[in-house]
Amino acid sequence: MNKTTMAALAASLALIGHTVSAQDADTTPDPAVEPTEEAGNGAIVTRSAITEDREVLDENGEPVLDENGSPVVETVTTGFTQTVETPSGNVHTLTKLDGQRAVVTHERAERPEKAEKAERPERPEKPEKPERPEKPEKPERPEKPERGN
C-alpha cells in the first residue's frame, strides 16, 4: 500500500512539474477553467485560472471611461491553481501567480487507525528433554618416561 501511495505521489508531482514548466514557457494560452480530467494513474486533476479585475488605463495613466462615465474594467489572468486528488484521498494543490514561485500544499487523507492485532493463542509447553547421562571420566594417561639425553 505504501509503495502504491509513493508511486501515485511521484506521478502526480511529475504531472504538476510538467504543467508548471509549460505554464512558465507561455507556449499555451491560459483558459479560464479547464474541465476536470482523470490522469492515467486514477488521480483527478482540476485546473482553474486566478483572475483579477483591473481598470483599463490610457497612455497617460488615466482610467478609460465608458459612455456612462464609469471606468472600464478588464479581467486579467494572474496565475492558476491546479489540484490533484489521488485515489488514496490525498490532495495536492499547486498555486502559481505570475512573477512568483509556485506554492504546493499537501493534505493527507485521514487514515483509520490500525486495528489491534488479535492475541495469539498460547503455545503448549514443550516437554522437557531427558537429562543426558554424564560422560564417563577418561582414564588418566600413564606418564611417558623421560627420554634419555
pLDDT tens digits along 107-147 = 988 877 777 888 888 888 888 888 888 888 888 877 777 76
Residue 120 falls inside a structural domain: no
Domain assignment present for residue 145? The answer is no
Burial class (CB within 10 angstroms; exposed 0-12, middle 13-18, buried 19+) of 115: exposed
- pLDDT (tens digit, 9 = 90+) per residue, 80-98? 999 999 888 899 999 999 9
CA separation for the pair 16, 5 (Å, rounded)? 16
Backbone φ and ψ for 11, nearest 5 degrees, come out as -65, -40
Residue 28 lies in a domain: yes
Contact 81, 103 (CB under 8 A): no
pTM for this model (two decimals):
0.45
**Quick one: cell of 9?**
505521489
Angle of CA points 137, 138, 141, to nearest 5° = 145
- What was the pLDDT predicted at 101? 92
Residue 91 to residue 114: CA distance in whole angstroms? 22
In a domain, 123, yes or no: no
Give the structural domain span for 91: 2-52+78-107
The structural domain count of the chain equals 1
**CA geometry: angle at 144 spanning 138 and 146, to 5°?**
160
Residue 72 maps to a domain: no
**Within-domain flag for 149:** no
Is the pLDDT confidence value at 28 over 50?
no
Task: For residue 13, tell me if it sits in a domain.
Answer: yes
pLDDT on residue 23: 46
* Residue 93 resides in a domain: yes
State the pLDDT at residue 18: 53
